[in-house]
Amino acid sequence: MSTTSFPLAPTELEWKLPPRGRIAMFALIAAEAAIFTIFVVAYLFYIGKSLSGPMPSEVLSPPFLYTVCLLSSSLTIHFAARSLRVGNVRSFGAWWLSTISLGAIFLYGTASEWHRLIYKDGLTITTNLFGTTYYSLVGLHGFHVVVGLLAMTTVMVFTIVGAMKQEHAERIDVLSLYWHFVDGVWIVVFTIVYVIGR
Amino acid sequence: MRSRGSNNWRFVSRQIFVWLCCAAAAFADQAPAWSPTNIFAPASTPAKSIFGLSLFVLAVTGVVFLVVFTLLLYSVVKFRKRRNDDGREPPQVYGSNQVELAWTIIPILIVVALFMATARVIASVQKDPRLDNAIEVVAIGHQFWWEYRYPGLGVVTANELHVPVSDDNQPSPTFIKLLSADTDHSFWVPRLAGKTDLIPNHPNSMWIDPHEAGVYLGQCAQYCGTQHAKMLLRVYVQQRGDFDRWIQEQRQPATVSSAASQGQRIFETTACINCHTVEGTVASGRFGPDLTHLMSRDTIAAGAATNTPENLRQWILNPDAIKPGSLMPAMQLSDQDLNALTAYLETLR
Amino acid sequence: MSTESIAWPSASAESRSFVDTLHEWVTTVDHKRLGILYIIYALVFLLIGGIEAAIIRIQLIRPHNNFVSPQVFNRLFTMHGTTMIFFVVMPVLFGFANYLIPLMIGARDMAFPRLNAFSFWMTAFGGLLLYFSLVGANGLYGAGNAPDVGWFAYAPLTSRTFSVGHSTDFWTLALLVSGFGSIGTAINIVATILCMRCQGMTLAKMPLFAWLNLVMAGLVILAVSPLTAAQIMLLVDRYLGGHFFDTQAGGSAVFWMHFFWIFGHPEVYVLVLPAFAFASEIIPVFSRKPIFGYPVMVGATVAIGFISMSVWAHHMFTVGMGANVNTFFVISTMAIAVPTGIKIFNWLATIWGGKIEFKTPMLFCIAFLFQFLIAGLTGVMMSAAPFDWQLGSSYFVVAHFHYVIVGGILFTLFGAFYYWFPKMSGRMYSETLGKLHFWLFLIGFHLTFDFMHIPGLLGMPRRIYTYEPGRGWDTWNFIVTIGVFFQAAAIVVFLGNLIWSYFRGKAAGNDPWDAWTLEWSTNSPPPAYNFYTIPSVQSRRPLWDLKHPDDPDWKYE
Ligand code: HEA
Ligand code: HEA
Ligand code: CUA
Ligand SMILES: [Cu+2]
């Protein structure tokens, strides 16, 4: 029989599916979360197992200021996304720029901490288990911050040349999901490294 | 009616059980003949507990297999499309909650039964019933040989483990602490116990209590590098008297007769002493097997060759010919030196 | 044939130069082409991996054989295992998923076509990277070595101390790179299935194929990521001098085992779920009945997905975990038998009361049912931890997993090849050659893998390049090796059939099997945009509804 008498008559019911960008970002976040989980578990397991110094309590101090910066960038990106959704591109640009700046400040914080650890305290990734796990975990997070910053800078360039429109709000939402995730991970990393691990 | 039904069932199940036990016993008698490493020929309590469990698991999975296999076969044959088919589609059945429930619950019950039996055996084998008269051995895995130390008895040897027989009226189990000097290995002598891995920085332990004297074979069961295949295990189970005598001999330092001193000088001036120990001489390396009582062993290089003068000579000349990839380098000796050296080794009784 | 008159963009018959065609294939973002690229890529690696297996078996045909050196043997099984898992079964399953999912859910492409192409090329380069080690990695034994650490690469054998040179780095990087590809594809599959279904296709009306692949993709996302993390750690250890798995510096070798198997166990369900998906499409069509207990099948799949995340340490019963940990992993592992059993029983019930047509795809699926039953039961034996203390790392394990992977996955996969070949190529395959392939492979499979259990029970460990005579293993190993030649012959017939039919097969038409899912409603091969108009469905078997307007499915579901 001929089956190509397709299509079937469309039914009248309304047909709505979730947006694919968001779903894909959630899936990506799930994968990233799994990666971070492994590193976090390794960090927790090796706390106190280093055979030689320096130990975390001797060299780490919680970077409160930078943490506040990173976490508040979650707020600014939220406002940015909201501005774009209502079509206010100028305000979007302002919020977006402040998000990038806050992220960059955080990154500077990590960089200066590493610089101090390496040159003053002599802790490198090869020194001991603490060094290995610390640089890997914080480095992995830092890498995600860098990726986020690169993506946001691209958006910033588009905004400056005037290519950013209200219709891109959905994509900005997806990107901001990623950024929220990076911030959320930092809360975990902070707790593990600077609170429990010390 | 109901109670009679369950009595019948109990009768049948007891019959099956008795029958299985007889079969198992008969089987266990025959089993060693099939293979010296047959897991169904246990000769020590841990292996026996596992054997018991394995019979139960095999019986249960066997029944599941028979039932499902029969059903599958039946439906495949019965519901094939016949030659005289009328071309109509068969009745379209979408499912049935009752059946689904049935084939969820029955497997759950089976799983629970399997689990309970398993949990019991885990507990019984993994508990540590330390006795005062237990022998303690430290087994250290090396690429690709075994080091054995008897801390209480002051004996160090390699590749051939000696333990006493443990019988019911005089139990003397052996506790083996498992360490590794390099990569992962696994201690597996199927007739004595299940395998346990030797992992660096992760001490393990196991125990055996062999009921009969004899040599039990096995081999390293965790991939550990090039010569994983020739990291063989030999366990010599001896009567108590024989075992004590063996210990006495192993405690002696090496006896050096003057005839061999030529070979001894070569041994002590070549790199040999960096890797090998001969008690009572300057040789105290720990990278290779202890050679103090080399001649008391039936094999060399973890069972790769029998311990004959020719093999020994061949081994020192070129270990790769016997065990390619072993970590002992070829020593580049002249024929004459080699003969003297071999002669010296021959004296290490 | 109403679609005949429409000119499809890619259907233009003018002949193009080879370079153009090549360019088109390399730059394609079409899910069907990418699917076919995946499949061909996997077939090539199947040959390579199979030849490696054949060499392994020839070496083991008798004790103290000298066909290959121990070093080469160790590389062979490492490459065989890695190739087969990561560069044969994963890509071929992704290939079928790519090709079929959009067609089955009535979509024009995957959710992210370019991500799709990117993922394919990542996977492809992963495989090339692995084999580049043959020329690029100067390891311990002269220049150019393949990795030799085994497919689960236990620490500390992978450390710089024990694995000199770069062969292990090629292994790590290959898996890292192809892992990114896999995660990308998995994200794509999830987004496609959740966001691209045609009108009326609620989650409860998707073909089971889509459901199983959805769960598979979820597992990839959650399982391959830990592997990626572990590989990063290994790289940190090897290149930056870290100590994650460095036992000299207090690191733990057992940690790697956990990380690997947290990936490794879900991975085997990643491999088997698509096989279940093939069976769930093929068995109903050739029994002429809908799948029995659709909602229960979905539930069982999801249950398998969840439970499989909590059973990994059953690969580590001999590692010396405490009695309590062992006990936990015994019960969680055994629990998987329940949802898997439900699946077996539902397939059985699908056949029950049907009219089975023994076409080649169905033959493979029926063999799968029997073989998977046995394979699962040997799995249950090993899940009884004390029994595993005897069986683990022996040839019994090797037999178990080849029984699942070859007897289960490869069989359904061959079934899938025959079943969808008419759709992909527009031609019918040769039924005679198909049956010949089936019987040859069946004989070869049973010769090899049935008898492989026995040396395991007689104490033969795996990964040994040779063995001692007098252990009662000789005869069994001989038979096992003989079986491989039947398998190889079968695979030659299979490839011959594909090639011959592609050029000479008779036209298949749109719907040669009188089947029920949407892919059979479009042309064979489907046009670039899949459907002229996007279909809309009312039940799980839209084409049944169409063919039986008097008795449609949606009345009953
Ligand atoms: C696709 C692949 C696949 C699949 C589906 C499975 C399925 C299962 N596997 Fe297997 N397995 C592997 C691939 C697979 N395995 C691989 C590759 C390895 C080795 C890796 C390596 O070391 O290199 C391995 C190793 C492996 C081990 C470790 C052995 C060792 O190294 O010591 C164990 C131990 O528990 C195990 C168990 C199981 C169980 C319980 C199942 C269950 O899912 C099976 C469930 C199915 C059934 C039980 C049959 C149908 C059910 C019924 C008819 C219901 C009634 C039955 C009962 C109630 C019992 N497998
Ligand atoms: C998808 C997974 C998969 C598949 C399909 C196979 C298929 C096969 N495997 Fe393998 N195997 C693994 C996954 C797989 N294997 C894994 C994961 C391991 C563990 C590795 C490790 O321990 O690290 C393993 C290990 C393994 C071992 C154990 C090695 C050891 O421990 O020492 C053996 C031994 O017999 C073996 C055999 C086979 C055989 C005979 C086949 C056969 O089915 C293959 C049949 C195919 C062919 C024979 C190819 C046909 C080729 C042609 C027709 C070519 C002709 C053409 C030309 C010459 C141009 N495999
Ligand atoms: Cu030691 Cu394998
Ligand atoms: Cu598993």
pLDDT score of B348 more than 50 = yes
User: Is the residue at A96 inside a domain?
Assistant: yes
User: Is the residue at C251 inside a domain?
Assistant: yes
pLDDT tens by residue, B181-222: 999 999 999 999 999 999 999 999 999 999 999 999 999 999
Q: Which residues of B317-326 are buried (b: 16+ CB within 10 A; e: fewer)?
A: bebeebbbbb
Give residue C133 CA to ligand 4 midpoint distance, Å: 28
Residue B220 CB–ligand 3 contact under 6 Å: yes
Nearest CA to ligand 1 atom 53: C341
Through-space distance between the first and last CA atoms of chain B, rounded to whole angstroms: 76
Interface A–C counts its CB contacts (< 8 A) at 155
User: Is the residue at A4 inside a domain?
Assistant: no
Nearest CA to ligand 3 atom 1: B185
Alpha-carbon gap, residue B152 to B149, rounded angstroms: 9
**Half-sphere CA count of A22, side-chain side, radius 13 A:** 8
Q: Hey, of C312, C536, C543, C546, which one would you mutate to test binding to chain A, going by the most A CBs within 10 A of its CB?
A: C536
Average pLDDT, chain B: 89
Band of pLDDT at residue B5, cut at 50, 70 and 90: very low
Residue A81 Cα, gap to closest chain C Cα (Å): 23
Least confident of B103-107, C145-149, C187-191: C145-149
User: Is the residue at C13 inside a domain?
Assistant: no
Give residue C60 CA to ligand 2 midpoint distance, Å: 13
Domain count, chain C: 1
Q: What is the domain-level CATH number for residue C480? A: 1.20.210.10
Band of pLDDT at residue B279, cut at 50, 70 and 90: confident
Alpha-carbon gap, residue C514 to B89, rounded angstroms: 11
- Selected residues 4-33 of chain C with any CB under 8 Å from a CB in chain B: none
User: Is the residue at C325 inside a domain?
Assistant: yes
Domain count, chain A: 1
User: Is the residue at A76 inside a domain?
Assistant: yes
**Looking at the partner chain, which of A3, A37, A49 has a beta carbon nearest the beta carbon of C520?**
A3
Alpha-carbon gap, residue C317 to C303, rounded angstroms: 23
User: Is the residue at C415 inside a domain?
Assistant: yes
pLDDT score of B259 more than 80 = no
User: Is the residue at A9 inside a domain?
Assistant: no
Nearest CA to ligand 2 atom 50: C488
Across the interface, whether the CB atoms of C195 and A23 are under 8 A apart is answered: yes
Torsion of CA C504, C505, C509, C514, to 10 degrees: 180
- Selected residues 134-163 of chain A with any CB under 8 Å from a CB in chain C: 136, 140
Q: Where are the alpha helices (DSSP H) in C352-384?
A: 360-383
Segments forming the whole domain that contains residue A137: 20-51+64-196
**Looking at the partner chain, which of C253, C254, C389 has a beta carbon nearest the beta carbon of B50?**
C389
Across the interface, whether the CB atoms of A38 and C190 are under 8 A apart is answered: no
User: Is the residue at A108 inside a domain?
Assistant: yes
Alpha-carbon gap, residue C317 to A137, rounded angstroms: 30
Q: What percent of chain B has pLDDT over 90?
A: 65
Across the interface, whether the CB atoms of A4 and C3 are under 8 A apart is answered: yes
Segments forming the whole domain that contains residue C61: 26-554
Sign of torsion over alpha carbons B115, B117, B119, B125: negative
pLDDT tens by residue, C190-225: 999 999 999 889 999 999 999 999 999 999 999 999
Residues of B in contact with C351 (CB under 8 A): 75-76, 79
Across the interface, whether the CB atoms of B49 and C386 are under 8 A apart is answered: yes
Q: For residue A151, give Cα distances in angstroms to A12, A96, A99, A172, C177.
A: 41, 11, 12, 10, 22
C463 CB within 8 Å of a chain B CB: yes
Ligand 2 pocket mutation pick from C80, C92, C391, C466 by most atoms within 8 angstroms of CB: C80
**Looking at the partner chain, which of B34, B99, B221 has a beta carbon nearest the beta carbon of C349?**
B99
pLDDT score of B78 more than 70 = yes
User: Is the residue at C11 inside a domain?
Assistant: no
Residue C507 Cα, gap to closest chain A Cα (Å): 15
Across the interface, whether the CB atoms of A129 and C243 are under 8 A apart is answered: yes
Residues of C in contact with B224 (CB under 8 A): 157
Across the interface, whether the CB atoms of C390 and B190 are under 8 A apart is answered: yes
Q: What is the H or E stretch that residue C258 is in?
A: helix C253-287
Q: What percent of chain B has pLDDT over 70?
A: 90
Question: What type of residue sits at position A160?
Answer: I
Alpha-carbon gap, residue C534 to C542, rounded angstroms: 13
Torsion of CA B289, B292, B298, B301, to 10 degrees: 20
Residue C240 Cα, gap to closest chain B Cα (Å): 21
Residues of B in contact with C454 (CB under 8 A): none
pLDDT score of C425 more than 60 = yes
Give residue C269 CA to ligand 1 midpoint distance, Å: 10
Tell me the DSSP string of B170-221.
B---EEEEEEESSS-EEE--TTT---EEEBTTB-EEEEE-BSS-EEEEEE--
Alpha-carbon gap, residue B225 to B183, rounded angstroms: 8
| C201: helix, strand or coil | coil
| Domains (range + CATH), chain B | 37-81+99-250 (2.60.40.420), 258-345 (2.60.40.420)
pLDDT score of C136 more than 60 = yes
Nearest to C183 by CA among A22, A178, A27, A146: A27
Across the interface, whether the CB atoms of C250 and A46 are under 8 A apart is answered: yes
Least confident of B84-98, B126-140, C98-112, C435-449: B126-140
Q: What's the pLDDT at B261?
A: 78
Q: What's the pLDDT at B9?
A: 61
R_g of chain C, CA atoms, integer Å: 23
Alpha-carbon gap, residue C215 to C276, rounded angstroms: 12
pLDDT along chain A (198 residues), means of 10: 44 78 96 96 91 86 92 95 92 95 95 94 92 95 96 95 90 95 96 90
Q: What's the pLDDT at B349?
A: 82
Nearest to C174 by CA among C139, C127, C228, C138: C127
pLDDT tens by residue, A51-100: 887 888 888 888 999 999 999 999 999 999 999 999 899 999 999 999 99
Contact C317/C333 with Cβ under 8 angstroms?
no
C349 CB within 8 Å of a chain B CB: yes
Across the interface, whether the CB atoms of C221 and A30 are under 8 A apart is answered: yes
Q: What is the domain-level CATH number for residue A168? A: 1.20.120.80
Band of pLDDT at residue C9, cut at 50, 70 and 90: very low
Across the interface, whether the CB atoms of A125 and C1 are under 8 A apart is answered: no
User: Is the residue at A1 inside a domain?
Assistant: no
Average pLDDT, chain C: 92
pLDDT score of B4 more than 60 = no
Residue B218 CB–ligand 3 contact under 6 Å: no
Q: What's the pLDDT at C80?
A: 97
Q: For residue C136, give Cα distances in angstroms to C175, C503, C516.
A: 16, 39, 50
Band of pLDDT at residue C263, cut at 50, 70 and 90: very high
Q: What's the pLDDT at C2?
A: 40
Residue B160 Cα, gap to closest chain C Cα (Å): 17
User: Is the residue at A6 inside a domain?
Assistant: no
Strand partners, C356: B80
Band of pLDDT at residue B16, cut at 50, 70 and 90: low
Across the interface, whether the CB atoms of C459 and B126 are under 8 A apart is answered: no
User: Is the residue at C533 inside a domain?
Assistant: yes
User: Is the residue at C63 inside a domain?
Assistant: yes
* Nearest-atom index, ligand 3, CA of B221: 2
Q: Which residues of C361-378 are buried (b: 16+ CB within 10 A; e: fewer)?
A: bbbbbbbbbbbbbbbbbb
pLDDT tens by residue, B320-330: 999 999 999 99
Across the interface, whether the CB atoms of B104 and C331 are under 8 A apart is answered: no
Nearest to C96 by CA among C263, C220, C210, C205: C210
> Which ligand is nearest to the Cα of residue C462, counting in written order?
2
Residue A90 Cα, gap to closest chain C Cα (Å): 31
Residue B198 CB–ligand 3 contact under 6 Å: no
Q: What's the pLDDT at A181?
A: 97
Band of pLDDT at residue B11, cut at 50, 70 and 90: low
Residue C405 CB–ligand 2 contact under 6 Å: yes
User: Is the residue at A11 inside a domain?
Assistant: no
pLDDT tens by residue, C497-534: 999 999 999 999 899 999 999 999 999 899 999 998 88
Burial class (CB in 10 A: 0-12, 13-18, 19+), C309: middle
pLDDT tens by residue, C265-297: 999 999 999 999 999 999 999 999 999 999 999
Give this complex's ipTM: 0.93
Residues of C in contact with A125 (CB under 8 A): 236, 240-242
Alpha-carbon gap, residue C31 to C97, rounded angstroms: 9
In the structure, ligand 4 is a single-atom ion and the residues with CB under 5 Å from it are C 265
Interface B–C counts its CB contacts (< 8 A) at 281
Residue C99 Cα, gap to closest chain A Cα (Å): 19
Q: Where are the beta strands (DSSP E) in chain B?
A: 135-142, 145-150, 155-158, 160-164, 174-180, 185-187, 196-198, 204-208, 214-219, 232-238, 299-300, 305-306
